[in-house]
Amino acid sequence: MGLLLEGPAFLADRSGRDNLRLLASIKGLANEDDCLAALRDVGLDPDDRRPYRKYSLGMKQRLGIAGALFERPSLLLLDEPTNALDADGVEMLKRLVRREQRRGATIVLACHAADILRELSHEVYHIAEGRIDGHEELRQP
């Protein structure tokens, strides 16, 4: 499972590349090439040696997206994935979500941006006060 929670957290003194390497070592499902490709996919420079603590909010979000995707999971849970992303970042996210859909992954998006949900989703569930408050079946994205 790939997971992006609101406000991704990584080791502050490590670079994005080093953080992904560490994650890859836990399950052994991804290698160095997967880490490099994931960083490039989200628009981060794999050779950037800056520690995570010096990343902008948008860069932190991009690294969180890379961390959710780089092992090619069958299930992705993305909580507010557009937070801190600029317009280019939102387009990158849409492209990657579509790629993962084509790959056959099941993707659960929690997002306040209704237009993005409708563009990318087969179904939309509305939640209010912790309960499902409505449901829409949409066309194939």
Question: Residue-wise pLDDT tens for the chain (141 aa)?
Answer: 999 998 899 999 999 999 999 999 999 999 999 999 999 999 999 999 999 999 999 999 999 999 999 999 999 999 999 999 999 999 999 999 999 999 999 999 999 898 999 999 989 998 999 999 999 998 765
Q: Are 109 and 121 in contact (CB under 8 A)?
A: yes
pLDDT of 46-79, one tens digit each?
A: 999 999 999 999 999 999 999 999 999 999 999 9
The yes or no reply on domain 2-137 and CATH 3.40.50.300 is: yes
Structure confidence at residue 110 (pLDDT):
93
φ/ψ of residue 61, rounded to 5 = -65, -40
Radius of gyration of the CA atoms of the chain, in A: 15
Which residue, 56, 66, 73, is CA-closest to 18?
Answer: 66
Closest alpha carbon to 52 in 13, 6, 7: 13
- In this prediction, residue 24 carries a pLDDT of 97
pLDDT of residue 6: 84
Q: How many residues does the chain have?
A: 141
Look up the pTM and report it. Answer: 0.94
Place of tokens 């902008």: 56
Q: What does the alpha-carbon distance between residue 117 and residue 136 come to, in Å, rounded to a whole number?
A: 11
pLDDT at 3: 96
Euclidean distance between CA atoms 96 and 62, whole angstroms: 11
CB 39 within 8 A of CB 45: yes
How would you list the strands of the sheet with 2-4, edge to edge? 2-4, 75-79, 106-110
